[in-house]
Amino acid sequence: MTSLDMPTMASSLSFPILPFGSVCGKRSCFATPQSILVDKFRRVVLEVKSSETRECTAMFNCNSRRDFLGLALGVSGLFIHSLEANGAGLPLEEKPKLCDETCEKELENVPMVTTESGLQYKDIKVGQGPSPPVGFQVAANYVAMVPSGQIFDSSLEKGQPYIFRVGSGQVIQGLDEGILSMKIGGKRRLYIPGSLAFPKGLNSAPGRPRVAPSSPVIFDVSLEYIPGLEVDEE
Protein backbone atom coordinates (compact mmCIF):
# COMPACT_ATOMS: atom_id res chain seq x y z
CA MET A 1 0.00 0.00 0.00
CA THR A 2 1.46 3.41 -1.03
CA SER A 3 1.44 6.58 1.06
CA LEU A 4 -1.38 7.91 -1.15
CA ASP A 5 -3.67 5.06 -0.19
CA MET A 6 -4.18 6.10 3.43
CA PRO A 7 -5.88 9.46 2.75
CA THR A 8 -8.03 7.79 0.10
CA MET A 9 -9.22 5.15 2.58
CA ALA A 10 -9.94 7.77 5.24
CA SER A 11 -11.98 9.89 2.88
CA SER A 12 -14.07 6.91 1.82
CA LEU A 13 -15.39 6.34 5.35
CA SER A 14 -19.01 7.30 5.83
CA PHE A 15 -18.37 8.79 9.29
CA PRO A 16 -15.94 11.56 10.31
CA ILE A 17 -12.71 10.44 11.96
CA LEU A 18 -13.29 12.77 14.93
CA PRO A 19 -16.62 12.57 16.76
CA PHE A 20 -18.90 15.56 16.64
CA GLY A 21 -18.22 17.89 19.55
CA SER A 22 -14.63 16.74 20.22
CA VAL A 23 -12.46 19.43 21.79
CA CYS A 24 -9.66 21.20 19.89
CA GLY A 25 -8.02 23.74 22.14
CA LYS A 26 -10.64 26.06 23.67
CA ARG A 27 -13.46 25.42 21.29
CA SER A 28 -15.31 22.55 19.70
CA CYS A 29 -14.17 21.42 16.29
CA PHE A 30 -15.87 19.32 13.63
CA ALA A 31 -14.34 16.93 11.17
CA THR A 32 -15.43 17.50 7.60
CA PRO A 33 -18.60 15.39 7.02
CA GLN A 34 -18.04 12.67 4.49
CA SER A 35 -21.37 10.91 4.25
CA ILE A 36 -24.02 11.80 1.72
CA LEU A 37 -26.50 12.43 4.51
CA VAL A 38 -24.31 15.15 6.10
CA ASP A 39 -23.73 16.75 2.67
CA LYS A 40 -27.46 17.20 2.30
CA PHE A 41 -27.53 19.31 5.46
CA ARG A 42 -24.36 21.32 4.72
CA ARG A 43 -26.29 24.26 3.26
CA VAL A 44 -28.53 24.46 6.32
CA VAL A 45 -25.54 24.26 8.67
CA LEU A 46 -23.81 27.13 6.84
CA GLU A 47 -26.93 29.24 7.16
CA VAL A 48 -27.05 28.60 10.87
CA LYS A 49 -23.35 29.46 11.17
CA SER A 50 -23.81 32.84 9.50
CA SER A 51 -26.81 33.70 11.65
CA GLU A 52 -26.04 36.07 14.52
CA THR A 53 -28.82 34.74 16.70
CA ARG A 54 -28.03 31.11 15.95
CA GLU A 55 -31.72 30.30 16.18
CA CYS A 56 -33.57 27.70 14.18
CA THR A 57 -37.18 27.85 13.19
CA ALA A 58 -39.95 28.17 15.76
CA MET A 59 -40.35 24.43 15.66
CA PHE A 60 -36.78 23.82 16.92
CA ASN A 61 -34.83 25.91 19.42
CA CYS A 62 -31.19 25.06 18.64
CA ASN A 63 -28.33 26.78 20.49
CA SER A 64 -25.54 25.89 18.10
CA ARG A 65 -24.80 24.31 14.78
CA ARG A 66 -23.70 21.18 16.62
CA ASP A 67 -27.14 20.78 18.19
CA PHE A 68 -28.86 21.44 14.88
CA LEU A 69 -26.70 18.96 12.98
CA GLY A 70 -27.20 16.34 15.68
CA LEU A 71 -30.96 16.88 15.49
CA ALA A 72 -30.93 16.58 11.70
CA LEU A 73 -29.00 13.32 11.84
CA GLY A 74 -31.35 11.98 14.51
CA VAL A 75 -34.45 12.75 12.44
CA SER A 76 -32.84 11.12 9.41
CA GLY A 77 -32.10 8.01 11.47
CA LEU A 78 -35.73 7.78 12.53
CA PHE A 79 -36.81 8.11 8.89
CA ILE A 80 -34.51 5.27 7.83
CA HIS A 81 -35.79 3.01 10.62
CA SER A 82 -39.35 3.81 9.59
CA LEU A 83 -38.62 2.64 6.03
CA GLU A 84 -37.12 -0.58 7.38
CA ALA A 85 -40.20 -1.21 9.51
CA ASN A 86 -42.50 -0.70 6.52
CA GLY A 87 -40.42 -3.14 4.50
CA ALA A 88 -40.68 -5.74 7.23
CA GLY A 89 -44.46 -5.39 7.25
CA LEU A 90 -45.00 -6.35 3.63
CA PRO A 91 -47.96 -8.72 3.16
CA LEU A 92 -47.11 -12.39 2.95
CA GLU A 93 -47.36 -14.17 -0.37
CA GLU A 94 -50.68 -15.97 -0.79
CA LYS A 95 -50.21 -19.75 -1.05
CA PRO A 96 -52.41 -21.94 -3.28
CA LYS A 97 -55.17 -23.83 -1.46
CA LEU A 98 -57.68 -26.57 -2.13
CA CYS A 99 -60.35 -24.78 -0.10
CA ASP A 100 -60.91 -21.06 -0.75
CA GLU A 101 -62.94 -18.58 1.33
CA THR A 102 -66.25 -19.73 -0.16
CA CYS A 103 -65.33 -23.33 0.56
CA GLU A 104 -64.43 -22.46 4.17
CA LYS A 105 -67.87 -20.95 4.74
CA GLU A 106 -69.62 -23.96 3.23
CA LEU A 107 -67.61 -26.33 5.42
CA GLU A 108 -69.16 -24.77 8.51
CA ASN A 109 -72.43 -26.48 7.61
CA VAL A 110 -70.93 -29.82 6.58
CA PRO A 111 -71.38 -32.58 9.20
CA MET A 112 -68.25 -33.96 10.82
CA VAL A 113 -67.53 -37.69 10.50
CA THR A 114 -65.50 -39.39 13.24
CA THR A 115 -63.95 -42.84 12.73
CA GLU A 116 -63.03 -45.45 15.35
CA SER A 117 -59.37 -44.41 15.22
CA GLY A 118 -60.20 -40.81 16.15
CA LEU A 119 -59.77 -39.42 12.63
CA GLN A 120 -62.32 -36.76 11.72
CA TYR A 121 -63.18 -35.42 8.29
CA LYS A 122 -65.55 -33.25 6.26
CA ASP A 123 -66.22 -33.84 2.58
CA ILE A 124 -65.64 -30.70 0.52
CA LYS A 125 -66.75 -32.58 -2.58
CA VAL A 126 -67.85 -36.20 -2.90
CA GLY A 127 -66.20 -37.94 -5.86
CA GLN A 128 -67.40 -40.64 -8.21
CA GLY A 129 -66.23 -44.09 -9.17
CA PRO A 130 -64.19 -46.49 -7.07
CA SER A 131 -62.34 -46.00 -3.81
CA PRO A 132 -58.70 -47.12 -3.87
CA PRO A 133 -57.96 -50.67 -2.69
CA VAL A 134 -55.19 -51.11 -0.12
CA GLY A 135 -51.79 -51.23 -1.82
CA PHE A 136 -52.88 -49.46 -5.00
CA GLN A 137 -51.14 -46.36 -6.21
CA VAL A 138 -53.08 -43.11 -5.94
CA ALA A 139 -52.36 -39.60 -7.20
CA ALA A 140 -53.49 -36.97 -4.72
CA ASN A 141 -53.02 -33.29 -4.14
CA TYR A 142 -52.77 -32.09 -0.56
CA VAL A 143 -52.31 -28.97 1.55
CA ALA A 144 -50.98 -29.76 5.03
CA MET A 145 -51.59 -27.29 7.87
CA VAL A 146 -51.11 -26.89 11.60
CA PRO A 147 -54.33 -26.19 13.56
CA SER A 148 -53.82 -22.41 13.23
CA GLY A 149 -54.14 -22.77 9.44
CA GLN A 150 -50.47 -22.16 8.59
CA ILE A 151 -49.28 -24.37 5.72
CA PHE A 152 -46.22 -26.54 6.33
CA ASP A 153 -46.34 -28.65 3.15
CA SER A 154 -48.27 -28.64 -0.14
CA SER A 155 -48.21 -30.57 -3.39
CA LEU A 156 -49.81 -27.56 -5.10
CA GLU A 157 -46.65 -25.55 -4.56
CA LYS A 158 -44.61 -28.39 -6.08
CA GLY A 159 -46.81 -28.36 -9.19
CA GLN A 160 -47.75 -32.05 -9.34
CA PRO A 161 -49.84 -34.59 -7.41
CA TYR A 162 -48.19 -36.84 -4.86
CA ILE A 163 -48.21 -40.51 -5.91
CA PHE A 164 -47.96 -43.25 -3.28
CA ARG A 165 -49.36 -46.68 -2.38
CA VAL A 166 -52.31 -46.10 -0.12
CA GLY A 167 -52.63 -48.18 3.05
CA SER A 168 -49.01 -49.37 2.91
CA GLY A 169 -47.50 -46.97 5.46
CA GLN A 170 -45.83 -44.65 2.97
CA VAL A 171 -47.66 -41.68 4.50
CA ILE A 172 -48.95 -40.88 7.98
CA GLN A 173 -51.78 -43.09 9.26
CA GLY A 174 -54.42 -40.37 9.23
CA LEU A 175 -53.81 -39.58 5.55
CA ASP A 176 -53.82 -43.27 4.62
CA GLU A 177 -57.12 -43.88 6.37
CA GLY A 178 -58.74 -40.71 5.05
CA ILE A 179 -57.98 -41.45 1.39
CA LEU A 180 -59.01 -45.11 1.53
CA SER A 181 -62.69 -44.13 1.78
CA MET A 182 -62.55 -41.34 -0.84
CA LYS A 183 -63.65 -41.59 -4.46
CA ILE A 184 -61.97 -40.23 -7.58
CA GLY A 185 -62.48 -36.49 -7.94
CA GLY A 186 -63.39 -36.10 -4.28
CA LYS A 187 -62.02 -33.44 -1.91
CA ARG A 188 -61.88 -33.85 1.84
CA ARG A 189 -60.61 -32.05 4.91
CA LEU A 190 -58.95 -34.40 7.35
CA TYR A 191 -58.61 -33.49 11.03
CA ILE A 192 -55.82 -35.84 12.04
CA PRO A 193 -55.13 -36.39 15.76
CA GLY A 194 -51.55 -36.50 17.01
CA SER A 195 -51.64 -40.28 17.40
CA LEU A 196 -52.19 -40.62 13.63
CA ALA A 197 -49.86 -37.81 12.54
CA PHE A 198 -46.12 -37.24 13.09
CA PRO A 199 -44.80 -39.05 16.20
CA LYS A 200 -41.39 -37.35 15.89
CA GLY A 201 -42.71 -34.02 14.62
CA LEU A 202 -41.30 -31.98 11.74
CA ASN A 203 -38.62 -29.31 11.87
CA SER A 204 -39.63 -25.91 10.55
CA ALA A 205 -38.40 -24.85 7.11
CA PRO A 206 -37.93 -21.18 6.15
CA GLY A 207 -41.34 -19.54 6.24
CA ARG A 208 -42.98 -22.72 7.55
CA PRO A 209 -44.35 -23.54 10.99
CA ARG A 210 -42.86 -26.32 13.10
CA VAL A 211 -44.94 -29.43 13.72
CA ALA A 212 -44.50 -30.61 17.30
CA PRO A 213 -44.24 -34.37 18.01
CA SER A 214 -47.64 -36.10 18.10
CA SER A 215 -49.51 -32.83 17.53
CA PRO A 216 -52.77 -32.68 15.52
CA VAL A 217 -52.60 -31.55 11.90
CA ILE A 218 -55.11 -30.74 9.14
CA PHE A 219 -54.91 -32.03 5.56
CA ASP A 220 -57.01 -30.84 2.64
CA VAL A 221 -56.84 -33.69 0.12
CA SER A 222 -58.13 -34.23 -3.41
CA LEU A 223 -58.03 -37.71 -4.96
CA GLU A 224 -57.07 -37.03 -8.58
CA TYR A 225 -56.94 -40.53 -10.03
CA ILE A 226 -56.14 -44.18 -9.35
CA PRO A 227 -53.90 -45.61 -12.08
CA GLY A 228 -55.47 -48.72 -13.62
CA LEU A 229 -58.90 -48.33 -11.98
CA GLU A 230 -60.61 -45.20 -13.25
CA VAL A 231 -60.67 -46.48 -16.86
CA ASP A 232 -62.06 -49.89 -15.90
CA GLU A 233 -65.03 -48.35 -14.09
CA GLU A 234 -66.07 -45.96 -16.89
Q: What is the pLDDT of residues 164-184, one digit of tens each?
A: 999 999 999 999 999 999 999
Q: What is the pLDDT of residue 134?
A: 95
Cα 195 to Cα 100, 142, 198, 213, 232: the distances in Å are 28, 20, 8, 9, 36
Q: What is the mean pLDDT of residues 46-64?
A: 44
Q: What is the pLDDT of residue 230?
A: 56
Question: For the chain, give me the number of helices (H) and strands (E)?
Answer: 7, 9
**Report field, pTM of the whole predicted structure over 0.75:** no
Distance, CA of 138 to CA of 225 (rounded, Å): 6
Residue spans per domain, the chain? 5-88, 101-225
Longest dimension (CA), the chain: 100
Distance, CA of 123 to CA of 111 (rounded, Å): 8
Which CATH number applies to 101-225? 3.10.50.40
Distance, CA of 125 to CA of 52 (rounded, Å): 82
Instruction: Quick: pLDDT tens for 69-120.
Output: 454 445 444 444 444 434 444 444 578 999 999 999 999 999 999 999 999 9
